[in-house]
């Protein structure tokens, strides 16, 4: 039995308002058979659910089942397109048709009829959120209704008093002057055949609210505005549009203040004052040509957390413990008299004395203030703000307050969860959990450094370092497709890449080294992320779209040095937070020219690979030439005659190995030297943001997996598990955010939810679980399964939902019997490297004939298999395998 399932269009299941001209269709194949391969497919597209007279019906001799582009189909705006697929697998008989799916177009190239509207000046100038609305009678039965909406600021849409949709912080954060997203909603069920009211409440959000280090207001503009179109189709086929224009009205809401950093002030007494002070809106002259459809999954409520306890601190505060450092807000119930005011103040951590600690939030207030309307139980959750917290100080709550009055609502971009990982070591499992929560907390529409202090910015370096881990945990294809377009939008004309995307630092201050852009390992996000996204999801379009930006960044680097092959000028962040310099400093001591030139070489290497994929032969040749010259200069500058490095830091060794900057013999020497440097620290790391993501990868790759394992298992400072033993539930910004003596790193920069060091997740999935893709058949079309057991684990279970389906890689030791179970999705193949299997095979204790081809490779055996589930079992002497 072979079935075609899980159809998606541009990564999404049944998207509305998708304006892609040549959408790409993906599907998954399920089968109980082994070695299933698609040899051809037929794709039908129809405006009718019955597929009668399809407008597109083509068969392709193709083995590709993901991101297949529909070409040459002229798409109409505001139209639903159904599609379905059948496939052929090694034979003449096709499968049945898949269940039908659909996508719906939005504006395509149509003009917006609605106008941008805002509240009258006085209302707009006050801190309170305005509500802009319009009432109308429908008089006829409605068969279908859609709303298309966007705003300057953030908005919540409602119809007849009900909040529409389950999205938050729409229209999301983009480089607003270049791109503003709109959202599409199916609102058929919200309307009545009689009187209706449609409206939007507006918050300042990233557009107008205080944001960035300086808390500057109005970074993008001083006027919030809404643009809405409601398209109604009646039962009799006639259509009408209700659009924002001068006829809409405005009224202030009970949301007296709502800002991303600072929280919200809400006066429920004002809820019934709706009909006072109604005014007419003003039309705003703001362009519409750069409005685009929503590119990534919206932010939604993803989890609900029940608090662990309410307790009183030494200082006498009543504090709620959520048991998890989370991002979102508290939804609460309260029963009090009219006018009674309560407040919640959010923090990540308790100090040494057990008191709630707000110091590291800097200027972010993270405070919710609520005034009761009285008369029974009131339920509240905020609107245009989010908090990063585990603990909540409850201020002035009535005596009857109870744990069950609080729910932690966790919000983030609704990306599909793809990775699962569990082992025999609970501390390792907690580390994995912390990495997962680091991603949750920092993937709220853009990848941020941290979610709690007055920062929450799209730091390019952090995103680049964590990208591969992020892509194991969740499908981040659309999320980064969107963000990379903002990177293009904000990239400088000389190819420079801002520190943060969307770039607000240039619009506010330049307090880091007096510049706002273009440092090594941060700017390289422009090259590393598109490539890694392509490799992870087989998304070739991202390379086509980003290529000019990638090339511009490499050219920027080339133009920096005194000599064009070395980047030795300007400000650099260096190995950020590396531990090899003086305690409590921001940058490690690794030579900044070495770091900059190493990344220059690496990005050039990726550009070469990209040019190869895109068949840009002139560029390929030119950049191969450049790469050779950079490598030569690097070696001239940093390699001694004896093959060791001039710069004796762990990070220098890690980068040299990771980016292949020396020949094989020097590599062996440098790997051995790296181990010596690690041993000199009592088998501890000293790497910062730049070296850490690659540290264990290069050790395992260069014959020192056992050292990687020991580093990974360390529990004392500095190590990954140190923070776990200190009770962390997310990943800290510093190795010593809490120092061994219990004190904290300075308040000026101490986040307890920063994903950069969570980049160890890549090694956990790629090396311990052994799941990786083949770069020449990306998106896990060809899978490498090469687990390297280690870290004293007796078992490990891992799955990864690739675009083709679920990959499984799980192993156990029972005594010396090693059992390895794998599952390979249909329409993919795998090369499995069985660790330590050479002697069992040679001694006929493991029989592989049934599987097909295999080869020996040192201690290991390499097996080539197709889709299906397989089990390998043999005696594996771990000591002999030197793990
Ligand atoms: C951020 C970092 C970032 C760094 C670079 C910090 O404030 O939180 O994660 O990469 O600045 O300077």
> Which CATH number goes with the domain that contains 402?
2.60.120.260
883 is a domain residue: no
Query: Residues with catalytic annotation?
Result: 455, 733
For 196, the token pair is 């209706």
844 is a domain residue: yes
Report the alpha-carbon distance of residue 162 to residue 459 in Å, rounded: 36
Q: Please choose from 510, 576, 595, 759 the residue to mutate so as to test ligand 1's pocket, defined by most ligand atoms within 8 A of CB.
A: 576
* Beta carbons within 8 Å of 763's beta carbon, 6+ residues apart: 696, 697, 700, 708, 712
Report the alpha-carbon distance of residue 654 to residue 651 in Å, rounded: 5
**Which atom, in ligand 1's list, is nearest to the CA of 749?**
7
CA of 152 to the centre of ligand 1 (A): 27
Residue tagged 């039965």 (tokens): 141
pLDDT tens readout for residues 39-61: 999 999 999 999 999 999 999 99
Lowest mean pLDDT among 77-86, 198-207, 554-563: 554-563
Selection from 507, 524, 699 nearest residue 598 by Cα: 524
Question: What is the residue-wise DSSP string for 257-280?
Answer: EEETTTEEEEEGGGGGGTTTT-EE
**Which atom, in ligand 1's list, is nearest to the CA of 754?**
9
CA of 85 to the centre of ligand 1 (A): 46
How does residue 509 score in pLDDT terms, banded at 50, 70 and 90?
low
CA of 502 to the centre of ligand 1 (A): 15
Domain boundary among 84, 104, 124: 104
* Model pLDDT, residue 512: 62
Q: What is the CATH number of the domain that holds 830?
A: 2.60.420.10
Asked whether the beta carbons of 604 and 625 are under 8 A apart, the reply is no
Asked whether the beta carbons of 481 and 533 are under 8 A apart, the reply is yes
Lowest mean pLDDT among 30-44, 272-286, 763-777: 272-286
**Which atom, in ligand 1's list, is nearest to the CA of 573?**
12
Asked whether the beta carbons of 325 and 437 are under 8 A apart, the reply is yes
CA of 450 to the centre of ligand 1 (A): 9
111 is a domain residue: no
If 0-12 CB within 10 Å is exposed, 13-18 middle and 19+ buried, where does residue 333 land?
Answer: middle
Q: Is the pLDDT of residue 812 over 80?
A: yes
User: How many residues make up the chain in this entry?
Assistant: 883
How does residue 91 score in pLDDT terms, banded at 50, 70 and 90?
confident
For 312, the token pair is 């009183």
Q: Please choose from 362, 388, 459, 518 the residue to mutate so as to test ligand 1's pocket, defined by most ligand atoms within 8 A of CB.
A: 459
Report the alpha-carbon distance of residue 592 to residue 587 in Å, rounded: 10
How does residue 506 score in pLDDT terms, banded at 50, 70 and 90?
confident
Q: Is 188 helix (H, G, I), strand (E, B) or coil?
A: helix
How does residue 882 score in pLDDT terms, banded at 50, 70 and 90?
very low
CA of 586 to the centre of ligand 1 (A): 10
pLDDT tens readout for residues 837-864: 999 988 888 877 777 789 999 999 999 9
How does residue 275 score in pLDDT terms, banded at 50, 70 and 90?
low
Asked whether the beta carbons of 296 and 478 are under 8 A apart, the reply is yes
Q: Give, using CA atoms, the residue closest to atom 8 of ligand 1.
A: 449
If 0-12 CB within 10 Å is exposed, 13-18 middle and 19+ buried, where does residue 338 land?
Answer: exposed
Domain co-membership, 748 together with 793: no
Domain boundary among 768, 801, 827: 768
23 is a domain residue: yes
Q: Give, using CA atoms, the residue closest to atom 12 of ligand 1.
A: 573
Q: ∠ CA(260), CA(265), CA(266), 5° rounding?
A: 125
* Beta carbons within 8 Å of 380's beta carbon, 6+ residues apart: 266, 268, 331, 332, 334, 370
| 572 φ, ψ (degrees, to nearest 5) | -135, 150
* Model pLDDT, residue 640: 95
Q: What is the CATH number of the domain that holds 67?
A: 2.60.40.10
336 Cα distance to chain centroid: 41
CA of 312 to the centre of ligand 1 (A): 34
881 is a domain residue: no
* Model pLDDT, residue 580: 95
Q: Which helix (H) or strand (E) holds 163?
A: strand 162-163
Q: Give, using CA atoms, the residue closest to atom 9 of ligand 1.
A: 449
pLDDT tens readout for residues 410-456: 999 999 999 999 999 999 999 999 999 999 999 999 999 999 999 99
**Which atom, in ligand 1's list, is nearest to the CA of 450?**
8
Domain co-membership, 482 together with 614: yes
Q: Is 387 helix (H, G, I), strand (E, B) or coil?
A: strand
Going from the C-alpha of 696 to that of each of 175, 321, 595, the distances in angstroms are: 36, 35, 18
Domain co-membership, 488 together with 390: no
CA of 422 to the centre of ligand 1 (A): 30
CA of 408 to the centre of ligand 1 (A): 27
Q: Residue 38's beta-bridge partner residues?
A: none
Domain co-membership, 565 together with 597: yes
Torsional sign, CA 103, 108, 111, 117? positive
How does residue 510 score in pLDDT terms, banded at 50, 70 and 90?
low
Helices and strands (H, E) in the chain, number of each type: 16, 44
Q: Domain span at residue 807?
A: 782-875
Average pLDDT over residues 629-633: 97
For 833, the token pair is 């490297």
862 CB-side CA count, 13 A: 8
Q: Give, using CA atoms, the residue closest to atom 2 of ligand 1.
A: 449
Report the alpha-carbon distance of residue 208 to residue 191 in Å, rounded: 32
**Which atom, in ligand 1's list, is nearest to the CA of 751?**
8
Report the alpha-carbon distance of residue 149 to residue 181 in Å, rounded: 9
> How many domains does the chain divide into?
5
CA of 875 to the centre of ligand 1 (A): 48
Average pLDDT over residues 766-785: 98
776 is a domain residue: no
31 is a domain residue: yes
CA of 602 to the centre of ligand 1 (A): 22
For 673, the token pair is 């030297």
**Which atom, in ligand 1's list, is nearest to the CA of 756?**
9
How does residue 878 score in pLDDT terms, banded at 50, 70 and 90?
low
Domain co-membership, 275 together with 397: no
Domain co-membership, 591 together with 704: yes
110 is a domain residue: no
Domain co-membership, 93 together with 144: no
* Model pLDDT, residue 5: 96
Between 842 and 403, the more confident residue is: 403
CA of 60 to the centre of ligand 1 (A): 48
**Which atom, in ligand 1's list, is nearest to the CA of 461?**
10
pLDDT tens readout for residues 691-724: 999 999 999 999 999 999 999 999 999 999 999 9
Q: Is the pLDDT of residue 162 over 70?
A: yes
Domain boundary among 397, 412, 427: 412
**Which atom, in ligand 1's list, is nearest to the CA of 462?**
10
Q: Give, using CA atoms, the residue closest to atom 1 of ligand 1.
A: 449
Q: Please choose from 449, 499, 520, 759 the residue to mutate so as to test ligand 1's pocket, defined by most ligand atoms within 8 A of CB.
A: 449
Q: Give, using CA atoms, the residue closest to atom 4 of ligand 1.
A: 459
Q: Please choose from 458, 462, 525 the residue to mutate so as to test ligand 1's pocket, defined by most ligand atoms within 8 A of CB.
A: 462
Q: Tell me, what DSSP letter sits at residue 297?
A: P
Residue tagged 């050790």 (tokens): 699
**Which atom, in ligand 1's list, is nearest to the CA of 689?**
10
Domain co-membership, 487 together with 631: yes
Q: Residue 649's beta-bridge partner residues?
A: none
CA of 214 to the centre of ligand 1 (A): 15
How does residue 880 score in pLDDT terms, banded at 50, 70 and 90?
very low
Domain co-membership, 520 together with 403: no
**Which atom, in ligand 1's list, is nearest to the CA of 522?**
10
Q: Give, using CA atoms, the residue closest to atom 3 of ligand 1.
A: 459
Domain co-membership, 146 together with 88: no
Domain co-membership, 222 together with 239: yes
pLDDT tens readout for residues 64-81: 999 999 998 999 999 999
Domain co-membership, 361 together with 214: no
pLDDT tens readout for residues 120-155: 999 999 999 999 999 999 878 999 999 999 999 999
Pocket of ligand 1 (CB under 6 A): 449-450, 455, 459, 461-462, 512, 573, 576, 749, 754
Q: Is the pLDDT of residue 336 over 50?
A: yes
CA of 449 to the centre of ligand 1 (A): 7
Average pLDDT over residues 805-818: 95
Report the alpha-carbon distance of residue 14 to residue 25 in Å, rounded: 11
């Amino acid at each position: 039995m072979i079935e075609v399932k899980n159809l998606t269009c541009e990564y999404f299941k049944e998207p509305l308002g998708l304006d892609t001209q040549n959408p790409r269709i993906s599907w998954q194949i399920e089968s109980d058979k082994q070695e299933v391969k698609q040899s051809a497919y037929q794709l039908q597209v129809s405006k009718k659910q019955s597929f009668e007279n399809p407008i597109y019906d083509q068969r392709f001799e193709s083995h590709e089942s993901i991101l297949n582009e529909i070409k040459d189909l002229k798409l109409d705006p505001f139209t639903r397109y159904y599609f379905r697929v059948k496939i052929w697998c090694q034979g003449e008989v096709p499968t049945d048709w898949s269940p039908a799916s659909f996508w719906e177009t939005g504006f395509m190239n149509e003009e917006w009829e609605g106008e941008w509207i805002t509240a009258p000046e006085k209302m707009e100038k006050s801190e309170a959120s305005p509500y802009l609305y319009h009432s109308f009678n429908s008089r006829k039965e409605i068969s279908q209704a859609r709303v298309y909406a966007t705003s300057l600021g953030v908005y919540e849409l409602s119809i007849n008093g009900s909040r529409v949709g389950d999205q938050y912080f729409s229209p999301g954060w983009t480089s607003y002057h270049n791109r503003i997203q709109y959202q599409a909603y199916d609102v058929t069920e919200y309307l009545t055949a009689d009187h209706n009211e449609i409206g939007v409440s507006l918050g300042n959000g990233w557009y107008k609210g205080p944001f960035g280090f300086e808390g500057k207001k109005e970074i993008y503009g001083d006027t919030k505005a809404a643009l809405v179109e409601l398209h109604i189709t009646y039962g009799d086929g006639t259509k009408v549009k209700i659009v924002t224009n001068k006829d809409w009205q405005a009224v202030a809401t009970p949301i007296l203040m709502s800002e991303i950093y600072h929280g919200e002030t809400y006066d429920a007494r004002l809820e019934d004052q709706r009909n006072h002070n109604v005014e007419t809106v003003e039309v705003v002259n703001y362009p519409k040509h750069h409005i685009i459809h929503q590119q990534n999954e919206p932010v939604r409520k993803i989890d609900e957390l029940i608090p662990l306890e309410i307790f009183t601190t030494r200082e006498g505060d009543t504090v709620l413990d959520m048991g998890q450092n989370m991002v979102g807000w508290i939804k609460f119930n309260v029963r009090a008299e009219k006018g009674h005011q309560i407040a919640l103040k959010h923090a990540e951590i308790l100090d040494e004395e057990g008191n709630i600690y707000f110091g590291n939030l800097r200027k972010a207030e993270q405070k919710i203030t609520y005034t009761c309307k009285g008369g029974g139980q009131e339920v509240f959750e905020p609107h245009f703000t989010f908090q990063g917290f585990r603990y909540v100080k409850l201020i002035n709550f009535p005596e009857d307050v109870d744990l069950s009055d609080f729910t932690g609502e966790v919000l983030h971009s609704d990306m599909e969860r793809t990775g699962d990982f569990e082992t025999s070591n609970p501390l390792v499992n907690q580390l994995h959990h912390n990495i997962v929560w680091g991603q949750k907390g920092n993937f709220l529409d853009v990848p941020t450094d941290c979610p709690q202090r007055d920062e929450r910015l799209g730091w390019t370096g952090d995103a680049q370092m964590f990208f591969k881990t992020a892509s194991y945990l969740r499908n981040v294809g659309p999320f980064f497709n969107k963000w990379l377009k903002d990177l293009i939008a904000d990239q400088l004309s000389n190819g420079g890449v801002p520190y943060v995307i969307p770039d607000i630092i240039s619009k506010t201050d330049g307090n880091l080294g007096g510049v706002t852009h273009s440092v090594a390992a941060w700017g390289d996000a422009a090259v590393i992320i598109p490539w890694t996204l392509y490799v992870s999801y087989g998304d070739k379009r991202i390379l086509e779209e980003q290529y000019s930006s990638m090339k511009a960044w490499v050219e920027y680097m080339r133009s920096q040095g005194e000599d064009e092959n070395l980047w030795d000028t300007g400000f650099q962040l260096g190995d950020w937070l590396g531990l090899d310099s003086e305690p409590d400093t921001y940058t490690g001591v690794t030579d900044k020219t070495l770091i900059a030139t190493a990344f220059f070489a690496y990005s050039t290497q990726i550009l070469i690979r990209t040019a190869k994929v895109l068949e840009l032969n002139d560029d390929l040749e030119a950049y191969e030439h450049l790469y050779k010259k950079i490598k030569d200069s690097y070696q001239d500058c940093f390699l001694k005659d004896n093959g060791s490095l001039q710069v004796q830091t762990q990070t220098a060794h890690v980068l040299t190995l990771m980016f292949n900057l020396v020949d094989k013999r020097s590599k062996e020497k440098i790997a051995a030297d790296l181990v010596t440097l690690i041993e000199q620290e009592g088998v501890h790391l000293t790497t910062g943001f730049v070296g850490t993501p690659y540290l264990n990868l290069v050790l395992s790759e260069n014959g020192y997996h056992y050292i990687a394992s020991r580093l990974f298992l360390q529990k004392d400072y500095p190590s990954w598990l140190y923070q776990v033993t200190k009770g962390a539930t997310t990943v800290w910004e510093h190795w010593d955010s809490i120092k061994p003596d219990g004190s904290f790193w300075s308040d000026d920069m101490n986040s307890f939810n920063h994903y950069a060091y969570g980049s160890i997740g890549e090694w956990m999935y790629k090396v311990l679980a052994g799941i990786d893709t083949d770069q020449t058949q990306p998106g896990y079309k060809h899978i490498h399964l090469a687990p390297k057991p280690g870290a004293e684990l007796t078992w490990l279970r891992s799955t990864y939902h690739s675009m083709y389906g679920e990959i499984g890689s799980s192993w156990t030791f029972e005594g010396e019997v090693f059992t390895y179970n794998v599952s390979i999705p249909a329409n993919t193949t795998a090369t499995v490297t069985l660790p330590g299997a050479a002697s069992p095979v040679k001694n006929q204790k493991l029989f592989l004939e049934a599987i097909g081809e295999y080869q020996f490779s040192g201690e290991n055996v390499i097996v080539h298999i197709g889709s299906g589930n397989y089990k390998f079992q043999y005696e594996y002497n771990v000591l002999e395998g030197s793990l």
